[in-house]
Structure 1
Amino acid sequence: MSPLRSLFSWPRLAAVLVVASGLAYAQAPLADAPEPVPAPEVVFVPPRDPPLPLLWRVSDADNTVYLLGSFHLLKPDDYPLSGDVNDAFADAEAVFFELPPEEMNSPQLPVQMMQAAVRTDGTRLDGQLPPDTAARLRDWQAANADTLQASGLTPERMQMFEPWFVGLMISMTEMGKQGLDPKLGLDQHFIAAADFAGKRTGGFETAAQQIALLDGMDADEQLQFIDEALSQAANDDLQTLHAYWRAGDADAIWNEMGDDMRNRYPKLYRHINVERNDAWVPKIEQLLAAPGTDDTLVVVGALHLLGDDGVVEKLRGKGYIVERMCSACAAVPPGPGR
């Protein structure tokens, strides 16, 4: 087994769900926000080259849809974006996301998520966890006590929730510690940009549908999910995935995450990826077939565009010509995802 394969030997469900598929990646506010702290001293950081975009273009006789693979949590130095992405946004009259912006940023979304995750049978989380997992969770809680206290998600309060929700909160906490911020994700960037530019926005599904997918995990999947979220806390997996996204390396993201998940968790993979892709493709075709000449930028989790089950290949299978747009990728060898 290569070092790279060893690094990605666990399925990383949390990374898939939160980063690449975009399911429920907003941190649920469980308490009043802590008192503000003074801003840290500004330290100059040399700018990096813009990320190489996971961006494709599909057109019919009069309309174009741009497909942009999102990383839902980013860092300040991931901006500015590439000229290709900015040009696609400038050309588009509308911007579509997985969720409509009014739902994605609704204060009711975290409330709805918590309501779905609350245990209703009088049991506690520890009673569902294997002893080793429960012990690891207590260790993690002790190591992150200040952060949990500030957010209101205390160890006692965690006992109220299903494993899938606690796993997401562990992953969100760890991503924050690594400098990845949902407020800086591509979705939020383009929601703000579309609002400023007066562009029409929309979404492919509802918050209720996304929450139902998470809450619909069976017991074994939920236990695997929280166990792997705790494992994720001990390594820099997300930093590597973020580096792949910055490099525009569609093949690495697919081979080391998407394909791994498809092989290990075929049922969950079908629910969160294939079935949603199948539902989105006709909606993209509707955007192409709409009267007039309005173009659309579609911003969705990167995993949804990649691999044989991805939106790009599904559109190609219907006869559309789908082209990768990456001016700076000329030196990158072509592959199935490119």
Structure 2
Amino acid sequence: MLKRLLSIKPLLLAALIATTFAAGADADSPARPEAKATPPVPLLWKVSDQDNAVYLLGSFHLLRPSDYPLSGDVSAAFEDAEAVVFELSPAEMASSALPTQMMQAALRQDGKSLQDDLDAATWQKLQNYANQNNLPLANFATFEPWFVGLSISILEMTKQGLDPKLGLDTHFMEIAKKAGKPTDGLELAGDQIRMLDGMDAVEQRQFIAEALEQAEKGPAEMEALHRAWRNGDADLLWSKMAGDMKREYPRLYQRINVDRNDAWLPKIQQRLSQSDSDDTLVVVGALHLLGSDGVVEKLRGKGYKVERVCSVCESEIKR
């Protein structure tokens, strides 16, 4: 579940969860001390043709204040880019209609309740989780399982001090607006919502079961993923995020990662071909840039020059 969450944009979902469950959720977890740290090592690649470039930056969608400032490499890529592209455009993310659209997709339309979708053991675990976290379980009952599973994951991440408002893509949406740089999205919010709502019953049950399992394990796995992102460790992120999902849930991996990467590819190529001078910064979830199914290798396979941009890395990482 945590791995899948890193491949979608959770800011809107987090806002809906806060609104829906604020009456019961325990928000009094102790704040994490913010130790001073060196800037994160960027997951940043430069893709070039004969006359211009696209920078590909791997995002962690929820971050902490201590994850800023960013490295000089990332700042330089932003300064060099004439435009910034995200999974969803900032204009659509700010749309007042979008929360309603997502809530309508998440609400059940089949007359059943959440308990009807779950086996007895999973339902008991969900009840235990709700009691331990002072969550009104009745508020979950009318939602699709995918929404409940993602809700649990985001609640667990926010307990660890990770904030969707501090995510890397949100950061760049804000500074692109201040800098007056044009922005765009690689897909529509409706596409992302249909991707989630289109999961079959088995996949949706797995969403909840895995989210509850991760909650029982505690913060260790998410801390490891966050640390790997900070360290720019593409190989570890591949094995722990994409690799695990590809082995354990191949249909879901295809829908969440591969299909979307393939749909984005021509749009990124157009950015390379449509101008002889303008460069673009593309900010997407790190999962989408990793491994043989990732955008980086797909563009390399089409003959573009691809290089890791990382002044503090000992050597270029090809994954």
Query: Where on the TM-score scale, by shorter chain, does this alignment land: which range?
Result: over 0.9
CA shift at 1:335, angstroms? 4.7
Pairing 1:135-174 to 2, within 5 Å after superposition: 135-145=124-134, 148=135, 154-174=136-156
Which of residues 108, 112, 115 is equivalent to 1:126?
115
How high is the TM-score relative to the length of structure 1? Answer: 0.87
CA shift at 1:204, angstroms? 0.5
CA shift at 1:268, angstroms? 1.0
In the other structure, the counterpart of 1:270 is: 254
Pairing 1:9-20 to 2, within 5 Å after superposition: 14-19=1-6
Counterpart CA distance in 1 for 2:103 and 2:182 is 30
Q: Give the conservation status (yes or no) of the 8 Å contact 1:24–1:210.
A: no
| 1:27-50 alpha-carbon deviations (Å, 9 max, x no partner) | 11435978xxxxxxx998442000
Counterpart CA distance in 2 for 1:43 and 1:174 is 14
Distance 1:45 1:208, change over 3 A: closer
CA shift at 1:229, angstroms? 0.5
Q: Give the conservation status (yes or no) of the 8 Å contact 1:18–1:25.
A: no
RMSD of Structure 2 on Structure 1 (CA): 2.1
Query: Which amino acid in the other structure matches residue 108 of structure 2?
Result: R
In the other structure, the counterpart of 1:311 is: 295
Query: Which amino acid in the other structure matches residue 183 of structure 2?
Result: T
How high is the TM-score relative to the length of structure 2? Answer: 0.92
Q: Where do 5+ consecutive residues of structure 2 fail to align?
A: 24-30
In the other structure, the counterpart of 1:101 is: 90
Aligned length: 310
CA shift at 1:109, angstroms? 2.6
Counterpart CA distance in 2 for 1:165 and 1:44 is 30
Is 1:182 equivalent to 2:164 in the alignment? yes
1:57 aligned counterpart, secondary structure = strand
In the other structure, the counterpart of 1:195 is: 177
Query: Which amino acid in the other structure matches residue 188 of structure 1?
Result: T
Q: Where do 5+ consecutive residues of structure 1 fail to align?
A: 1-13, 35-41, 149-153
Pairing 1:320-335 to 2, within 5 Å after superposition: 320-330=304-314, 335=317
Identity among equivalent positions (%) equals: 57
CA shift at 1:334, angstroms? 5.3
2:36 aligned counterpart, secondary structure = coil
Pairing 1:1-338 to 2, within 5 Å after superposition: 14-19=1-6, 21-26=7-12, 27=14, 28=16, 29-31=18-20, 45-145=34-134, 148=135, 154-234=136-216, 235-236=218-219, 237-330=221-314, 335-337=317-319
CA shift at 1:104, angstroms? 2.1
1:74 aligned counterpart, secondary structure = coil
Counterpart CA distance in 2 for 1:92 and 1:270 is 31
2:312 aligned counterpart, secondary structure = helix
2:69 aligned counterpart, secondary structure = coil
Distance 1:23 1:198, change over 3 A: closer
Q: Give the conservation status (yes or no) of the 8 Å contact 2:108–2:144.
A: yes
